[in-house]
């Protein structure tokens, strides 16, 4: 349990540092990138948290869920993109495409990554459509 908490704190610190590299932020969303590993760790630690005798376990659960949500956030900015606790510069993004039938979802193909990264956009800092924002951000190769 202690190892899990230290790991989550480390990931949240790294995530915050990486977010600084992205500025200014254009799109905010979530992705499927590295999500399963964090969820598995959370599910393994859940019985230990629920086994605590104090009411602090509810506060601990809320804090862990909040931190996991913040770590999972994706930020797309002028310098690159933040995925989990990794910064990916624009130069490493080979291409993207808008997912058919989805208004606010696109997939990125990143150099060195075997699978594409699916991103669902929650918030835009501009009034333009997502297609226009992505086209201005990184032209399709």
pLDDT tens-digit map of 85-96: 899 998 999 988
Q: pTM for this structure?
A: 0.81
Summarize pLDDT for 117-141 with one digit per residue, the tens: 889 888 766 677 788 888 888 766 5
The mean pLDDT value of the chain amounts to 83
Confidence of residue 4 (pLDDT cuts 50, 70, 90): confident
CB 18 within 8 A of CB 121: no
Which region holds residue 80: left if phi is over 0, alpha if psi is between -120 and 50, else beta? left
Q: How many residues can be counted in the chain? A: 141
């Amino acid at each position: 349990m202690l190892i899990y908490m230290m790991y989550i704190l480390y990931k949240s610190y790294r995530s915050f540092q990486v977010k600084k590299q992205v500025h200014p932020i254009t799109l905010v969303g979530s992705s499927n990138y590295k999500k399963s590993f964090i969820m598995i760790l959370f599910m393994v630690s859940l019985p230990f948290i629920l086994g605590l005798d104090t009411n602090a376990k509810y506060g601990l659960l809320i804090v862990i869920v909040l931190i996991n949500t913040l770590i999972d956030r994706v930020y797309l900015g002028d310098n690159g993109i933040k995925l989990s606790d990794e910064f990916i510069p624009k130069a490493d993004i080979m291409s993207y495409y808008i997912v058919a039938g989805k208004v606010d979802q696109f997939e990125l193909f990143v150099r060195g990554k075997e699978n594409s990264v699916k991103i669902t956009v929650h918030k835009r800092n501009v009034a333009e459509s997502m297609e226009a924002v992505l086209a201005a951000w990184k032209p399709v190769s």
